[in-house]
Chains A and B, each alone.
Chain A
Amino acid sequence: MTAGSGGRTGHGELAPTTRRRRRRLTSRAVAPYLFILPNMVVFGLFTIWPALNSFNISLYDSGNGRRFNWVGTDNYREILSDPEFWGVARHTAVFVVGFVVLVTVAATALALLLNAQVRGRGLFRAAYFLPVLISPVVVGLIWNWALERQNGLVNTVLGAMGLGAPGWLLNPNLAMGVTIFVGLWTHLGFYAMILLAGLQGIDPSLYDAARIDGAGAWQRVRTITLPLLRPTTLVVVVLATIAGFQAFDFIYTLTGGGPVGATTLIVQYIYLKAFESPIRYGLASAAGVILFLTVFGVTLLNYAIGRRREAI
């Protein structure tokens, strides 16, 4: 290579044009990072750093949340041998499975209805989306009052119809069912909107072709809509799974985790270990790390299954 406009000089130095190009390239390479830097600083300070520090704290223990002693993995051992933790894990699994299955099925059905309907579609969309806008704390309180055994709205209506007054929030099985239902009521509109967007992205000519070929409504849904909606459904399943594992606020005001801990899920367990006497930040952090790993694992599994189906 001769020393020229784009090469090296005889002294092994870069020619001015090469330097300019390299500077341009460097600027081009650095620019995206500079754009995301402010966000990354905030994200790093308020999400990544606390998360990493939480792992650090999980290796210590304290009887008062003040003086910490290094205990290595003892907190993890204690949690994994704690029957209370396994009870909470079982409740969380029941809630997540129930919530994800119901919300996915119901949101898909609702999205199909909203997609088909023409008159008043905007109104129905707004109506179903409204609970998403209500604070989860308020959602919990409203349903707590509505489902109160002696004077609640639901039992008053049932009583007037001679159907008795079930202890919705007193019977452990009923309380878990109610908790899943309230979670569904709160999130249905949000997931239905995502699926509706997915439905509207499907090419209408596919339906026309199917109709010409004599396919019925159910056949069109089964062979066109659902397969083409699969990527969006996967997003809904992943988001709902994460939301299910993180559920806390509306449950705390709805049931307080009761009756007798029947609706205490993992996040409330972490909260109680961290902030109720005796304060044990290390143990709570260890439970937080376990929750993170579980959610991460389940999300990866969801994606893996989704991808495999897409490939098939």
Chain B
Amino acid sequence: MVRPPARLLGAVLAGSLAVALGACAPGSGGEDKAAAPTTVNWSGFRGKTLTYVYFTDGPDEQATRERIAAFEQETGAKVNLQLVPFSDLEKTLQARVSGSSVPEVARVQDWHPYADALVDFTRYFGKDYPNEFIPGEAKASDDGQGHMYAVPSDLTMNGPLINVDAFNRAGVPVPAAGSTWTWDQMVADARKVAEANHMESALAIDKSGHRVSTVLSQFGTTMIGQNGQEALDSGKAARALGALTDLMKSGVMSKDFWLESGTRYKGANDMFLAQAVPVYISGNWQVAQFAKNARFTWAAVPNPCQERCGGFPGGKYMVAFKNSANPDLAAAFVQWMNRTENQRALDRQSGWMPTRKDLTATGIDYPQRAADMKVFLDDVAKTPEDTYAAEASPAFTGSASFLVAEIAKVTAGQEDVNTAVSNVKQQVAKLVRETTR
């Protein structure tokens, strides 16, 4: 009798799979290459290529390309700029860092998830290199042990933007630069303007824990304190979140948008651009975008004060990967892009705010929307110190996402504000423990 070969085939297949699966732990391999040198040979980069993984907020892409062209001309190196949507950035970078196509440089919002794969810039440019940057941002780039794993490339500041045309039509005075207004005043004005202009809502805020942290700070608290530990004041947080969720429940803010369903708007900026809302709480990175896309008169206005004034800081960083083909070139490129003259050029064209001490001192002569940028820069001075520490914590990103989910639950009537605050406190404490392990 002739036996079909299926069993044999099956046995061979099963054996091969067992051996193959047993032998391959996912993500194994790709260990560190040799330790980085401490000097940069600028003349040795000619003919070399680096890959720069980049996400863009809009006009900064052209500014970046121009700086890259200057770098290529100066060093003879070639820079391959690869654009990635922000939503795909982390998974793209993690996949590439674990594989064989590690990019040399990336622009990131949070460098902590890649910390073990990054170049320590102090090894190339010395222990004093972080001192070239403003203290809050330098601290946010440091691992707490004097290693600088990211270079802060642009500072962001949260704050409101308003539809000036709609304010004028409603006869509501636009808050002047340098003036102060309270949360209650802002909400009352927004309601009047929305009503007079038949707008869908009065106020919009990005669905982001980072932006909500602005409100928390204005009500006097932050999720993470200057010692890096959970620091949310329950009473103040309840007042802040209560104010926001009440606005959503009453329709002053779009409940539909915050509950992730039933709205055509993918972002609160879409609502502002569609003139569906007169006041939009976001940040300075919208300035260049709105300058290009808004079909109405708009302006940045000071952050409202409650217990405290000012906004909430954020930033983007440039990082270099030590397992890439050219880590020395990567470190040199990051340093070059953040030299005074290059950061100034990027800031001017992109509507970014500087992270360098010297540029903060001299200021940036923005070619357009300078008055709006000044509003944000003025708020930098009013922003409390603990907000920088909160934003710099490796636990911040996870905490911010959790905060958004809890606000949605309160808005949907699934839990009360006090429960949400208590849940946020527990989650922040857990994330702090996990990230500082």
Q: How far, in Å, is A42 (CB) from chain B's closest CB?
A: 15
Within 8 Å CB of B34, what residues of A?
none
Within 8 A of B (CB), among A59-87: 60, 62-68, 70
Cα(A167)–Cα(B412), bound, Å? 12
Within 8 A of B (CB), among A290-311: none
B26 with A56: CB separation less than 8 A: yes
A277 with B27: CB separation less than 8 A: no
A29 with B27: CB separation less than 8 A: no
Choose, from B132-140, B258-266, B341-349, B364-372, the stretch at the interface: B258-266
B263 with A277: CB separation less than 8 A: no
Would you call B37 an interface residue if the criterion is a C-beta within 8 Å of the partner chain's C-beta atoms?
A: no
Q: Mark B22-33, 1 if CB is under 8 A from A, else 0.
A: 001111100000
Would you call B90 an interface residue if the criterion is a C-beta within 8 Å of the partner chain's C-beta atoms?
A: yes
Within 8 Å CB of B4, what residues of A?
29, 33
Cα(A143)–Cα(B114), bound, Å? 39
Q: How far, in Å, is B99 (CB) from chain A's closest CB?
A: 9
Would you call A259 an interface residue if the criterion is a C-beta within 8 Å of the partner chain's C-beta atoms?
A: yes
Cα(A168)–Cα(B261), bound, Å? 9
Cα(A64)–Cα(B394), bound, Å? 13
A149 with B397: CB separation less than 8 A: no
Would you call A52 an interface residue if the criterion is a C-beta within 8 Å of the partner chain's C-beta atoms?
A: yes
Q: Mark A30-71, 1 if CB is under 8 A from B, else 0.
A: 100100000000001000010011001100101111111010
Q: Mark B403-435, 1 if CB is under 8 A from A, else 0.
A: 001001100101000000000000000000000
B261 with A66: CB separation less than 8 A: no
Q: A53-B21, A259-B408 are in contact. Are A149 and B262 (CB under 8 A)?
A: yes
Cα(A30)–Cα(B2), bound, Å? 10
B25 with A170: CB separation less than 8 A: no
Q: A30-B5, A53-B21, A275-B91 are in contact. Are A66 and B97 (CB under 8 A)?
A: yes
Pick the contact of A22 from B2, B6, B113, B401 — CB < 8 Å? B2
Would you call A258 an interface residue if the criterion is a C-beta within 8 Å of the partner chain's C-beta atoms?
A: yes
A67 with B260: CB separation less than 8 A: no
Chain A's interface: helix, strand, loop or mixed, by majority? Answer: loop
Would you call B17 an interface residue if the criterion is a C-beta within 8 Å of the partner chain's C-beta atoms?
A: yes
> Please, which residue of chain B has its CB at the minimum distance from the CB of A167?
B262
Within 8 Å CB of A25, what residues of B?
2
**Number of cross-chain contacts by CB at 8 Å:** 118
A151 with B264: CB separation less than 8 A: yes
Within 8 Å CB of B98, what residues of A?
65-67
Within 8 A of B (CB), among A253-284: 255-261, 263, 275, 277-279, 281-282
Within 8 Å CB of A168, what residues of B?
262
A259 with B26: CB separation less than 8 A: no
Cα(A52)–Cα(B401), bound, Å? 32
Cα(A210)–Cα(B316), bound, Å? 78
Cα(A51)–Cα(B2), bound, Å? 33
Would you call B233 an interface residue if the criterion is a C-beta within 8 Å of the partner chain's C-beta atoms?
A: no
Cα(A281)–Cα(B414), bound, Å? 30
A260 with B414: CB separation less than 8 A: yes
Within 8 A of A (CB), among B1-56: 2-6, 9, 13, 17, 21, 24-28
A255 with B114: CB separation less than 8 A: no
Q: A26-B2, A64-B113 are in contact. Are A175 and B21 (CB under 8 A)?
A: no
Cα(A53)–Cα(B17), bound, Å? 9
A277 with B260: CB separation less than 8 A: no
Cα(A277)–Cα(B28), bound, Å? 20
Would you call A147 an interface residue if the criterion is a C-beta within 8 Å of the partner chain's C-beta atoms?
A: yes
Would you call B117 an interface residue if the criterion is a C-beta within 8 Å of the partner chain's C-beta atoms?
A: yes
Cα(A214)–Cα(B343), bound, Å? 91
Would you call B95 an interface residue if the criterion is a C-beta within 8 Å of the partner chain's C-beta atoms?
A: yes
Within 8 A of A (CB), among B91-142: 91, 94-95, 97-98, 110, 113-114, 116-117
Within 8 Å CB of A22, what residues of B?
2
Within 8 Å CB of B24, what residues of A?
56
Q: How far, in Å, is B67 (CB) from chain A's closest CB?
A: 28
Would you call B255 an interface residue if the criterion is a C-beta within 8 Å of the partner chain's C-beta atoms?
A: yes
Pick the contact of A66 from B94, B255, B262, B408 — CB < 8 Å? B94
Cα(A29)–Cα(B6), bound, Å? 10
A170 with B414: CB separation less than 8 A: no
B27 with A62: CB separation less than 8 A: yes
B25 with A70: CB separation less than 8 A: yes
A33 with B6: CB separation less than 8 A: yes
A68 with B2: CB separation less than 8 A: no
B91 with A255: CB separation less than 8 A: no
Would you call A249 an interface residue if the criterion is a C-beta within 8 Å of the partner chain's C-beta atoms?
A: no
Within 8 Å CB of B255, what residues of A?
170
Q: Mark B292-319, 1 if CB is under 8 A from A, else 0.
A: 0000000000000000000000000000
B94 with A172: CB separation less than 8 A: no
A277 with B262: CB separation less than 8 A: no
Would you call B398 an interface residue if the criterion is a C-beta within 8 Å of the partner chain's C-beta atoms?
A: yes
Q: How far, in Å, is A35 (CB) from chain B's closest CB?
A: 14
Would you call A169 an interface residue if the criterion is a C-beta within 8 Å of the partner chain's C-beta atoms?
A: yes
Most chain B beta carbons < 10 A, residue from A62, A67, A149, A255 = A67
> Please, which residue of chain B has its CB at the minimum distance from the CB of A66?
B98
A60 with B397: CB separation less than 8 A: no
Within 8 Å CB of A29, what residues of B?
2-5
Most chain B beta carbons < 10 A, residue from A63, A151, A167, A278 = A278
Within 8 Å CB of A68, what residues of B?
25-28
A260 with B9: CB separation less than 8 A: no
Would you call B256 an interface residue if the criterion is a C-beta within 8 Å of the partner chain's C-beta atoms?
A: yes
Within 8 Å CB of B259, what residues of A?
170, 258-260
A66 with B17: CB separation less than 8 A: no
Q: List 11 A-B contacts (CB under 8 A).
A: A52-B17, A56-B26, A60-B26, A65-B94, A66-B27, A68-B27, A152-B262, A170-B261, A256-B261, A259-B412, A279-B91
Residues of chain B touching chain A, judged by Cβ–Cβ distance below 8 Å, are 2-6, 9, 13, 17, 21, 24-28, 90-91, 94-95, 97-98, 110, 113-114, 116-117, 200, 255-256, 259-264, 397-398, 401, 405, 408-409, 412, 414
Other than A29-B5, A52-B17, A68-B28, give 10 A-B pairs with Cβ distance below 8 A.
A25-B2, A33-B5, A147-B262, A148-B263, A150-B263, A168-B262, A255-B260, A277-B398, A278-B113, A281-B26
